Amino acid sequence: MYLCLIALAFFSGFPLYWSLVVASHDNSVLGQTPPPFGLGSNFFINIGRAFDTVPFAKALLNSFIVSTSITVSVVLFSTLAGFAFAKLKFRGRNALLLMIVATMMVPTQLGIIPLYMLMAKTAMIGTLYAVIVPSMVSAFGVFFMAQFLQEAVPNELLEAARADGCNTIRMFWHVVLPAARPAAAVLGMLTFMTAWNDFFWPLVVLTPEEPTVQVALSTLASGYVQDFSLSLTGTIIATVPLLVLFGLLGKHIIGGIMQGAVKG
């Protein structure tokens, strides 16, 4: 079993490691066969160049603000709506859920032009709101929570709570939220990651003066001759905070999963 896991670690980690190899050399390693597998000495020089070229500190902070806001909002609203769809009976429930699933099927790239017009009207262009507000809810999240809560919260528990005189919001707070923790943790992680790595929309609506990390990366990946070691250094600078964050929170998130399991 551990052999299987080590293979997994190798496959998953290889491209990241390879980015580090390129980032620590210069462009010419891309033309070498066999390519070097050790680290070069240029990494810190490249980091210095990256920070000189774009305002990375500001970009990291902006990305952090954007991703955190989106994550909190998505997890909260998704759990709330997921609870309603999974456990409450109301008219039009199935049709509305189907509608939510349908909204995921809208191809996103073409929405850019009308969405941009909307942002221009509300004067959000160039501000972080333009990235946060449209992503505050997620059909994926609602659907995910609805599917999860169906099984994870036993109906008997809710009936008991109702017999005790709980209204729905207290049921949500005392019964559903604790049971939803493992799914909320995963949803939170996925949402944070997606928000952090999103580049298509931020690139259109933000300016390099007020960038997220992905916008800053576009500034790094430049011109006629792309400097791959510089842009891969940039991607490492953009990825490491995610790793550190998940590493630090990982225990709590996993802890949350366990706790939820015990209660469920």
Q: What is the DSSP annotation of 66-79?
A: HHHHHHHHHHHHHH
When asked if residue 163 is in the footprint of another protein (CB under 8 A), the reply is no
Least distance from another protein to the Cβ atom of residue 64, Å:
15
- Residue among 65, 72, 115, 177 that touches another protein (CB under 8 A): 115
Angle in degrees, 0-180, between the axes of helices 56-87 and 213-220, rounded to the nearest 10? 140
- Residue among 50, 59, 100, 161 that touches another protein (CB under 8 A): 100
Query: What's the sign of the alpha-carbon dihedral 205, 208, 212, 217?
Result: positive
When asked if residue 41 is in the footprint of another protein (CB under 8 A), the reply is no
- The helix (H) or strand (E) run that includes residue 140 is helix 139-152
When asked if residue 160 is in the footprint of another protein (CB under 8 A), the reply is no
When asked if residue 16 is in the footprint of another protein (CB under 8 A), the reply is yes
- Select from 40-48, 62-70, 179-187 the region that touches another protein (CB under 8 A): 179-187
Per the document, the length of the chain is 264
Least distance from another protein to the Cβ atom of residue 69, Å:
13
- Residue among 45, 157, 177, 193 that touches another protein (CB under 8 A): 193
**Ranges within 116-145 binding another protein (CB under 8 A):** 116-118, 120, 125-126, 133-134, 136-137, 139-140, 142-144
When asked if residue 219 is in the footprint of another protein (CB under 8 A), the reply is yes
**Which distant-in-sequence residues (6+ apart) come within 8 Å of 177 by Cβ?**
79
Cβ 129 vs Cβ 70: under 8 Å: no
**Which distant-in-sequence residues (6+ apart) come within 8 Å of 47 by Cβ?**
233, 237
